[in-house]
Structure formats: structure tokens, C-alpha cells
A and B are shown apart, each in its own frame.
Chain A
Amino acid sequence: MITLIASFVKQAIIQGIPLLYGSTGEIITEKSGNLNLGIPGVMYIGGISGVIGAYFYESYGDTSNGFLCVLVPFLSSVLGSLIMSLIYSFLTITLRANQNVTGLALTTFGVGVGNFFGGSLSSIFGEGGQIALNTTGNYFKQTLPFADNLGLIGDTFFSFGFLAYLSFAISLFASYVLGRTRIGLNLKAVGENPATADAAGINVTLYKYLATCIGGGIAGLGGLYFIMDYIGGAWTNNGFGDRGWLAIALVIFAIWKPKYSIFGSILFGGLYIVYLYIPGLMRNTQEIFKVFPYMVTILVLILTSIRKKREHQPPASLGLPYFREER
């Protein structure tokens, strides 16, 4: 029984990590007042960019150098999601396009582009069209050296690749920056009331751009983790599933606080796979369990809406463009 629970917790954490990346990135973005519904697309691009980087490095680079094997896909993943975020930022901040429309378009675009490159790589790859970057995947899966000696505890909590720990670190750091630093205060001010922030001498456009791009870059790592660590370097079109949307739901669940999304991501991850641990489920009854994370999100929305505590509400100017001369 204890091993069953331990394995469930471990799987929940693994499933939670892409969600944690996505939601931490989206929280940072939303704190600047930008509702980036393109996050699923950004994460998808983050994944395929990593695959492309790894593919070229495995083909032309020195695969015995583990550090570079990890660094190249990492950087290309960040680059890919940065470009996506820049498109979004330019459209919504500079051109003041509608954020919802832009975000949804970006998701469709991101999935399409990802599948296009995925398909192209498959045909180059030959070998039955399956992209398998096992070497890179193995480097990403490298666990902490002492994990094997700690028995069950080690297996449950210390057996992940470095991207897992990075996600917690980024989330805690984001929490610190938002809560304790002047940059965080300024960022929150921009998302709450850009006109006031502007009058106080804060560069609203700069903050919105930086928050959206950094947030997008972080979210993209969720896609990279999924492909390289969880799958182990194999790409299948649409394999990422609805995890991007779950990440956005997690933002609401975490009431816009990165530290809550650590706990939330593990909960969501657990709910995502709980059907595997309940005996006697058929294929059709399994599907019911997959709606749990969304139901929890709706529940949180209902609760926070009833309680009406101002601190638990989304940033006041979320989704609204800012234009100084408008009165």
C-alpha cells in the first residue's frame, strides 16, 4: 500500500511539473495585466523548439558532452517560446489588439507550427517516422546522485531530472520577487492600474513586455520538460494534450500566487492520473476522472467569487489594453 501511495505521489509530481511551469509563467504574465491565452501554444512551441535543437545537436554535435546536450535544447526551447511571446506582446501591447483573440490565435498557431515541424522531422528521421532523441532524453532524466541510496523517500522525492527542481525554484523565486521586491511591486501596480503606475514613473510598456516574454519563456520549459524528461525525447504530434489549458486553470486555482501553484500543480497532476490508480475503470469511465482538475478550478472560482476578498481577485486591469492618452 505504501509503495502504491509513494508511486502515486511521484507520478502526481511528474504530471504537475509542466503545469507548474505553465502557470508560473502565466501568473507573471497576468500580473502585468496581460491575459495570455496563447500559453498552450507557447508551451507546445517550447517543446518542439527543444526537439529541433536536440535533433541538430545530436546530428552534428558531440553527444558525449552532457552539458551541451542539455544546454542546446534548453536554449532553443526558451528562444522558441520567447518569439511566441514577442508576437503576443507586439500585438497586444504595441498594437493594442484584443488579448483574448490574440491569445487563442497564438495557441492554434503554436500547435499547428509544432505539428508541422514534428511531421517534417519525422520524415527526415526515417526509422518508421518516430523521433527518438534518447541520448538527450537520458541527460535530461539524470537524477540526483544520492537518490538511489535513500530508498522510498529518495525514489519519491529525489528521482527527478533537474528541470523538475528548477520549476520549484523558479516558482519560489517568482513568489519572492512579486512579494518582496520593488520590481514585484511595480509589476503588480502595472497589472492593477497602469495609469497610476504610469503617473508614478513606471515604464508600463517595458514591464508588460518583460513580464509577458519572461513568463512565456518559463512556460515553454514546461513543454521541454514534457518531451525530454517525461517522454524521454520522443515527439508525437498532439502528445502534449490539454496540459496548456490546465496550466491556465491552475493560475485561477492558485489565486495568482506562484507559491500556491506548487501545491496546486501536484494536486492537478494527481487528479490528472488518479484514474490509473482506481481499479475496475473502463476506458469510458476513465474520462470522467479527467475532468476533476477543471471541476476543482470551477469550485475555486465559485468560492473566491463568493468571498469577494480583493486580494484573491485577478489583477484589476487584466485583459485591458493601456493607452495613456485615453481618458
Chain B
Amino acid sequence: MSEKAPAIQLRGISKHFGKVAAISDVSFTVNRGEILSVLGENGSGKTTLMNMISGIYFPDSGQISVEGKEVSIRSPKDAFDLNIGMIHQHFKLIDVFSAAENIVLGIADEQYDLKAAKDKIRSTCDKYGFVIEADKKVYQMSVSEKQTVEIVKVLYRGASILILDEPTAVLTPQETRQLFKVLRNMRDDGKTVIIITHKLHEVLELSDRVAVLRKGEYIGTIETSQANESILTEMMVGKKVVLNIERSEPENPEDRLIVENINCLGRDGRRILSEVSFCARSGEILGIAGISGSGQRELLEAIAGLQKVESGKIVYINPQTGGIDNLRDKTPVQIRALGVRLSFVPEDRLGMGLVGSMDIIDNMMLRSYKKGKSVFLQKKEPRNLAQRIINELEVVTPDVKTPVSRLSGGNVQKVLVGREISSSPTVLMAAYPVRGLDINSSYIIYNLLNRQKKNGVAVIFVGEDLDVLIELCDRIMVISSGRISGILDGRTSSKEDIGLLMTKEQRGGAV
């Protein structure tokens, strides 16, 4: 970086939500024409800080200067006027509008002329190497297309400072590479790019400098060329962390669950699973990779008896008796009784499995209330279980009586996974169990899964982070638009192999 003109200067920024300090006294500088990564664990305040630059929140104290001038950013519109644009993690797009309509939405001082807008969109796309269909409706788009629309929307308004919040969370490796190429083009064009992420390898690959936040405090900024994974982790977590998942060889694997050619229709009547066949074995972890919404959720729900299966067979082989059951004939309660457990962590953390307004004990009882013979509730056993989970999984909570919705996302997940594991399952299905967790908590969950594997449980793990899938799983099954596009060996496959299978277009015939 030869020119070091500051684009944004933050001085002593603080923000409180209630009594909790989300950001305290953060000061740093973003230079013009650079890609700056803001790195930090979940809950470290990255997004909060960036929301203050883009006008969603207003800081309690501190100053923000843009292009050398002190400014006060009170709304997203103020931020636009300062040429700051933010691409949020949850896209702000209208589904039934076309790309062009979304891009021009809310621009007041321009004549409404979609044709002219489309020309302008095309020239923006050509300049940076985007591909976008201006007339395509958003609901027909893939996630990466939607993201492109968001970026073009911001550029269309003339933004010269772009903030991207976890842009790669939903992309395949190939799409990520394409995005990075575009971002580099923008930097070379003199634009300033701030990217929020917690993925270390992306930071190292893309950015010029890295600013690290930890628990709302600014730790420091370093040049990427002088950084490596262990330095950055130490800055992020504050102590050295061993980032290894130990993967043992499966012990006497036997077939536990055989899925044969199942087909399912989604809620909107479209085919969501077609001809899915695979086998989960005891004592191994079967990973499921795929772009989100490819049918992972429906697959697990079909096995748990929550999703109607149109055709096909789901065979469960009982480890004690060796007997064979077809799960399709059984109710969810009967399936659970066989030891098939689903620990689902959907998009909203509390969605399935826990009731937010109830405390940890009562949430434990959701799985055992049918056991008691008396008309009154037996709280003793659930209380012990709750206490055990809190101790073993290091759940941070004032006491067992706290409603789970008051716990942080990571602790909610520990409660959910802990409860499902406690009933000594024979098949454990975990979907996105580490979503939103910090590094430490994630590794606690990975170790839990590994322990279950050693106990001879057939573990099915739906994950997002391909690096983790490769490190943790014995076999990785890739799902693409409801079909199995391949099953790879976790020890020998590469991220690129999986990425290719994730986007593979399939015609006829399942694997």
C-alpha cells in the first residue's frame, strides 16, 4: 500500500445494549483502497461495530470520521450519502421483485426508468466481473446470485466503501473464489472493502490488513503478510488453542441405518429429495455437505419421521437384537424409542427442540414427560440431568431455572445437543450443531460427537465448514438439489472435490 489515506477513522467507539457492553472504546483506521478483514469470534462485536458505520445503530460515545471529516451517521440513508454500503448477512431483498427492481428500490432522486437502470447495472457488472440477470426474480436465484444483487445494489448507489458481513458463509468454495476475485477488482479500482469473517484462511488469502476484536474490545491490527493462523487465533481467543480434531479409526463398523431410494416433496410441493440412498454405520461419523437448502433438513426429518416420505425405504438395524425395522411405518415417538435421535439446530436457534421461555429443567422434561406414572411431574431426574449438562459442557447460565432464551446462542446449542446425547442414542443426527458458536465451544461439540462415535453410535453430521467436515468425518456425503452427488472418504478428499459435487447438476439416475 503506497497511499495511506484513511477512508474511515474510528475513535473511542462504545455501544451498550442494556447493561452489556457490545463494543467498548474501539479505535482503528481503514485505509482507502485496501481490503481490511475484521476478525473475531461470534459475539466479539464485529457486526455491531460495522452496523454503527452503516447507520443501523448509533454509538453511545466516540467519533467516526469518513474521508477525514467527522460525521454523524444516524440512518442507512446517511451512510449511503457518505458512499458507505453494507451487505448484510441476511439479504435485504424483495423476493417477488426482479434484480433490477431490487437494485433501484428506494432511490428517490432518479427517474424511474428500468431500462436505463439495466444499462447502468450491466456496465457495473462488466467493470468488476459480475454476472447478473437483471430480469430474474429474486426467489428464483441461488444464494450467490442474491449476494451479487446485494453487492451491485450498493455499487449502483455509488458506494466507495463496502462492508460485507460474513459473505462466504453461504457460498461454495468456487463461488467464494469468484467473490474474492471481484473484491480484488474493486480494491484495484480504488474502493475500500471491509469484510467481517471468522474464517482464518479467508483472512489470510484475501485481505491486506486484519483488525481483530475480542469481546467488544479492539486487540490490534496487523499486516496480513506478517500474520499466520496461530497468531490470529491467539489474538482472537486470547490464549493458545490447539485446533486439532482427533479422528480415530471406526471400531467394528456395522450397518445401522440404510436409506434406499427415498423421495420427498417439500412444503411448497416441489421435489426436495430424489432417490436418496446411503448407509450410516455404527462407530463412524457420516458428514453431509451441501449448499444450504439442498435437502439436508428434509433428509434428517424424513429419518426422524417428521417429513412425509413419498417412496423408498428407511431400514434401521437394531444393535441388540439384530432385528430390522422400517422407520417409514413408525411414528416419530416410536423412532425415538429405537434410539434414533435428531438434534436439529435450525436457522433460528430455538426453532426446533427447545422452548425458549422454559428453563433448562423443563426443556429436559420435553423428552421424558411421558415416562412418569403419577399425574404430577417428577422434576428430580431432569434437574440432575440439567446440572450434569451444565457442568460437562460448560454451559454459562446463572442457574438451571433460567429460561433458555436468555442464554447466548452457543449455550443454547450445548443444552440441545447435551440433552439428545444424554439418552444414549444409537443414531445421532446433528444439523449445524456449531452454527454461531465460538471456536472453543465448537471444539467441545466436535469432541462430544467423537465421543459418541467411540461409543459405537452412528453419527450423522450436517456441517457448513468444509474444513471441519474433512477433519472430523469418516465419510462425507454430498447432497446437491436433493440428490446424492457423491460419497467421499473424509481422509482423502479435498475441499475442491466436495465443492464441485455441491454444485453438480444432475440429470436422471441417483448414485
Q: Of residues 164 to 212 in A, which have CB atoms within 8 Å of B's CB atoms? A: 180-182, 185-186, 188-189, 192-193, 195-197, 199-202
Q: Give the segment of B27-35, B105-113, B248-256, B416-424 that binds chain A.
A: B105-113
Q: Is A311 an interface residue when CB atoms closer than 8 A count as contact?
A: yes
Q: Which residues of A contact B104 (CB under 8 A)?
A: 182, 185
B369 contacts the other chain (CB 8 A): no
Q: How far is the CA of A153 from the CA of B106 in the complex (A)?
A: 46
Chain A interface size, under 10 / 10 to 19 / 20 to 34 / 35 or more:
20 to 34
A189's partner among B76, B97, B139 (CB-CB below 8 A) is B97
Q: Which of B106, B137, B139 contacts A200 (CB 8 A)?
A: B106
Any chain B CB within 8 A of the CB of A283? no
| Residues in chain B near residue A193, CB distance under 8 A | 92-95
Query: For chain B residues 105-141, which have a beta carbon within 8 Å of chain A?
Result: 105-106, 108, 112, 137, 139
Residues of A within 8 A of B101 (CB): 185
Residues in A with CB closer than 8 Å to B269 are: 306, 308
Q: How far is the CA of A308 from the CA of B139 in the complex (A)?
A: 12
Interface residue from B77, B95, B139 paired with A201 (Cβ < 8 Å): B77
Alpha-carbon gap, A23 to B80, bound state (A): 38
The answer on a CB contact under 8 Å between A201 and B92 is no
Minimum distance in angstroms from B192 CB to a CB of chain A: 21
By beta carbon, the residue of chain A nearest B88 is A199
Report if B268 contacts A (CB, 8 A). Answer: yes
- Say if the beta carbon of B510 comes within 8 Å of chain A: no
Q: In the bound complex, how far is the Cα of B94 from the Cα of A316, in angstroms?
A: 9
The answer for the CA separation of A20 and B120 in the assembled complex, in Å, is 40
B377 within 8 A of A: no
Per the bound structure, the CA–CA distance linking A128 and B90 in Å amounts to 67
Cross-interface CB contact of A185 among B92, B93, B105, B139, cutoff 8 Å: B105
CA distance in complex: A319, B21 (Å): 36
Complex interface: chain B residues within 8 A of A201 (CB): 75-77, 80, 106, 108
State how many angstroms separate the Cβ of B454 from the closest Cβ of chain A: 40
Partner of B112, one of A182, A199, A313, A316: A182
Question: Which residue on B lies nearest to A315, using beta carbons?
Answer: B96
Q: Which residue of B lies closest to A308 (CB)?
A: B268
A202 to B106, CA, bound (A): 6
Contact A316 B80 (CB under 8 A): no
Q: Which residues in chain B, 456-485, are within 8 Å of chain A measured between CB atoms?
A: none
Contacts of A197 in B (CB 8 A): 94, 105-106
Complex Cα distance, B98 from A311, in Å, reads 11
Given known contacts A189-B105, A201-B106, A310 and B95 CB-to-CB distance under 8 angstroms: yes
By a CB distance below 8 angstroms, the chain A residues around B93 are 193, 196
- Chain B positions 39 through 73: 1 when the CB is less than 8 Å from some CB of chain A, otherwise 0: 00000000000000000000000000000000000
Mask, A307-327, CB within 8 Å of B = 1, is 010110100100000000000
Residues of B within 8 A of A188 (CB): 94, 96-97
Q: Cβ of B137 and Cβ of A186 under 8 Å apart?
A: no
Known interface pairs A192-B94, A201-B76, A310-B95. Does A186 touch B105 (Cβ–Cβ under 8 Å)? Answer: yes
In the complex, which residue of chain B has the Cβ closest to the Cβ of A199? Answer: B92
For residue A44, give the distance in angstroms from its CB to the closest CB of chain B. Answer: 33
B262-284 contacts to A, CB under 8 A, are 268-269
In the complex formed, the residue of A with least CB distance to B153 is A200
Q: Please state if A199 and B96 are interface contacts (CB–CB under 8 Å).
A: no
The residue that B95 contacts in the complex, of A180, A192, A199, with Cβ under 8 A, is: A192
- Given A185-B101, A189-B94, A196-B93: A310 and B77 within 8 A (CB)? no
Which residues of B77-97 are within 8 A (CB) of A? Answer: 77, 80, 92-97
Interchain nearest-CB distance for B504 vs A (Å): 26
Cβ of B112 and Cβ of A181 under 8 Å apart? yes
Is the pair B137, A196 in contact by a Cβ cutoff of 8 Å?
Answer: no
Bound-state CA distance A313–B96 (Å) is 10
Give Cα A180–Cα B75 distance, bound, in whole angstroms.
Answer: 28
Q: Which A residues between 272 and 327 are near B, CB-CB below 8 angstroms?
A: 306, 308, 310-311, 313, 316
Closest B residue to A316 by beta carbon equals B95
* Minimal beta-carbon separation of A159 from chain B (angstroms): 39
Contact present for A186 and B106 (CB under 8 Å): yes
The answer to whether A196 and B94 touch (CB under 8 A), given A186-B106, A310-B139, is yes
In angstroms, how far is the closest chain B Cβ from the Cβ of A27?
Answer: 15
Contacts of B95 in A (CB 8 A): 192-193, 310, 316
For A311, the closest partner residue in chain B by CB is B96
Q: In the complex, A201→B81 CA distance in Å? A: 11
Tell me, rounded to whole Å, the shortest Cβ–Cβ distance linking B49 to chain A: 17
A200 touches B268 (CB 8 A): no
A131-175: which residues lie under 8 A (CB-CB) from chain B? Answer: none
In the complex, the answer to whether A185 meets B112 with C-beta atoms within 8 Å is yes
> Closest approach, in angstroms, between the C-beta of A308 and any C-beta of chain B?
6
> Cβ of B92: which chain A residues have Cβ within 8 Å of it?
193, 195-196, 199-200
- What's the Cα separation between A188 and B96 when bound, in Å? 10
- Add 7 more A-B contacts to A193-B93, A195-B92, A201-B106 (CB < 8 A): A188-B97, A189-B105, A199-B76, A201-B75, A201-B76, A202-B106, A310-B95
18 contacts between A and B (CB under 8 A): A181-B112, A185-B105, A186-B105, A188-B97, A189-B94, A189-B105, A189-B106, A192-B97, A193-B92, A196-B105, A197-B106, A200-B105, A201-B75, A201-B76, A201-B108, A202-B105, A311-B137, A316-B95
Q: 3 tightest CB-CB pairs across the interface, nearest first?
A: A200-B106, A182-B112, A196-B92
